[in-house]
Amino acid sequence: MDNADRVLLLPYPSQGHINPMLQFGKRLAAHGLLVTLAATRFILGSSRPEPGPVRLAAISDGFDATGFDGAGSAPVYLGRFELVGSETLESLLRSEAAAGRPVRLLVFDAFLPWAGDVGRRLGAATAAFFTQSSAVDALFYHVWERRLCPPVQAAVELPGLPRLEPRDLPSYLVELVTAYPAYMDMVMNQFKCLENADEILINSFYELEPEETDFLRVACGAKTVGPTVPSKYLDDRIPFDSQYGLNLFTPAAAPCMRWLGSKRPASVVYVSFGSMAVLGPEQTAELAFGISDSGKDFLWVVRSSETGKLPRDFAEGFAERGLVVSWSPQTEVLAHPAVGCFLTHCGWNSTAEGLSLGVPMVAMPQWTDQLTNAKYVEDVWGVGVRVREDEKGLVRREEVERCVREVMEGRRREEMRMNAAKWRERAKAAVGKDGSSDKNIVALIAKYCTNT
């Protein structure tokens, strides 16, 4: 192992970016590479990493004690991260080289394009990892190329993409441009990687988004390497653990699995809005009553920062019918036969997990790429229904109930279940031996990591 080629991974420090990068790293490690993931000191100090084939190393974002929250704003955080992150990444690469373990390949999050400059300067091959879907990356690329000019106010028809209404576009392209210029800059700056990355990797799989991926392949040589869902569920050549392994929240694993174990097959609605989404109190209450009015059993992840918004006594009022936890072992939950529906905010990881584990969805997107993912869940992949907001922008309890019932017992239930099962098989084929993503990963290793 000591002679193995070294790969260094650098994710953006949030759960939705660490998970796919870490899983990708496990896949590289399964090919005999020595893989290290560089996380900020804050992330390392606030998580309990599980032992696994990917080692961890520290860099700094300049906010070791507080992480993002200490910065006060996205521009301050991102600016300091670039400065301090570049210095500490450089030190890490230099110390590895000095110890006789030079990093051969640096895989960095496309949200951190400066890492490509550092890697190049120190002689590593560089691969930019785009965490979001091919469709979303293609949309941002069209903005980068000035074919699409936000704020977008009418339907768009663009190469590689289906016709998209404004409600199907990433929120930055529609109404939030002025409110979130730093995030808009971040998604646009991803394309600086075209200048300093030897490879462009996309966290999706070809069969899921063929036109979108073809477009990106021709435009910038991008290759799909996903889905980056824990391999246990997709590829039995890799006997790694079922979870990702670097949780910023503590999963209530035993209670969730025990509770699910008492439920009938496909009878439970699993509800989760990922690691970042913040619903208002009124929306949280409408959601709560909609779920309960559906009459279905439910397992709902409400992060501890959000529990104060639940209607009074809500969590206690359901006896065995409902379980509310502050974090779950999500992929284990989705893989459980009792789960029949995933009510999701459509973060890209959650969407890819739902598809890869064959679970039909209710799509309730909040912001950023989630709106586009929701469009695809309903109209392109045919695995779910998307909620409709009222004129105030709220999803009312009747609508939540309608959508849950449609997925769990409606006329199209069987069709959605069959489509979900089909995507699960295609996801397995993509990462299985000689699948589309597997081939791209093998070619990447052959090109840059010569020891294997």
Residue 30 beta carbon to ligand UDX: minimum distance, rounded to whole angstroms: 20
340 binds ligand UDX (CB under 6 A): no
Residue reference for tokens 């990493």: 49
**Is 19 one of the binding residues for ligand UDX (CB under 6 A)?**
yes
Residue among 334 and 400 whose Cβ is closer to ligand UDX: 334
Q: Which is nearer to ligand UDX, 19 or 449 (CB)?
A: 19
Q: Which residues contact 297 (CB under 8 A, 6 or more apart)?
A: 263, 267, 268, 269, 320, 321, 322
228 binds ligand UDX (CB under 6 A): no
Q: Angle CA(60)–CA(55)–CA(126) in degrees, nearest 5?
A: 70
Give the pair of three-digit tokens for residue 338: 């009792």
For residue 248, give the nearest of 26, 11, 44 by alpha carbon.
Answer: 44
Q: Is 213 in the site for ligand UDX (CB under 6 A)?
A: no
In terms of CB distance, is 126 or 132 closer to ligand UDX?
132
Pick from 350, 436, 437, 440: which binds ligand UDX (CB under 6 A)? 350
Looking at beta carbons only, is 126 or 350 nearer to ligand UDX?
350
Instruction: With CA atoms as reference, report the closest residue to 172 among 190, 157, 159, 160.
Output: 190
Which token pair is 359? 């679970």
Judged by CB under 6 A, the residue of 198, 369, 399, 438 near ligand UDX is 369
What residues contact 360, with CB distance under 8 A and at least 6 apart?
340, 341, 342, 354, 383, 384, 407, 413, 416, 417, 419, 420
356 is an interface residue for ligand UDX by CB under 6 A: no
Q: Is 111 in the site for ligand UDX (CB under 6 A)?
A: no
Binder of ligand UDX out of 205, 300, 327, 423 (CB under 6 A): 327
Question: Among 73-81, 348-356, 413-421, 438-446, which window interacts with ligand UDX (CB under 6 A)?
Answer: 348-356
Contact 271, 83 (CB under 8 A): no
Can residue 353 be called a binding residue for ligand UDX (CB under 6 A)? yes
Site stretch for ligand UDX (CB under 6 A), options 74-82, 114-122, 345-353, 439-447: 345-353
Q: Does 132 bind ligand UDX (CB under 6 A)?
A: yes
The CB-of-16 to ligand UDX minimum distance in angstroms stands at 2
Selected range binding ligand UDX among 111-119, 204-212, 363-371, 417-425, rule: CB under 6 A: 363-371
DSSP 58-119: EE--S-TTTGGGGTSSHHHHHHHHHHHHHHHHHHHHHHHHHTT--EEEEEEETT-THHHHHH
345 is catalytic: no
Would strands 199-202 and 125-130 be described as parallel, antiparallel, or unpaired? parallel
Residue 43 is given by DSSP the state H
Residues belonging to the chain = 452
Instruction: Return the number of the residue (118 or 135) whose C-beta is nearest ligand UDX.
Output: 135
Q: Which is nearer to ligand UDX, 95 or 250 (CB)?
A: 250
CA 250 – CA 398 distance, rounded (Å): 32
Count of residues near ligand UDX by CB under 6 A: 26
Sign of CA dihedral 312, 318, 319, 324: negative
Query: Exactly one of 13, 85, 160, 274 binds ligand UDX (CB under 6 A); which one?
Result: 274
CA 399/CA 283 separation, integer angstroms: 12
Catalytic residue among 17, 31, 142, 345: 17
Q: Which of residues 275-304 bind ligand UDX (CB under 6 A)?
A: 275-277, 301
Q: Could you tell me which of 392, 388, 371, 443 has the C-alpha nearest to residue 167?
A: 371
* Nearer Cβ to ligand UDX (350/440): 350
Residues acting as catalytic residues:
17
Binding site for ligand UDX (CB under 6 A): 14-17, 19, 131-132, 251, 272, 274-277, 301, 327-328, 330-331, 347-350, 353, 368-370
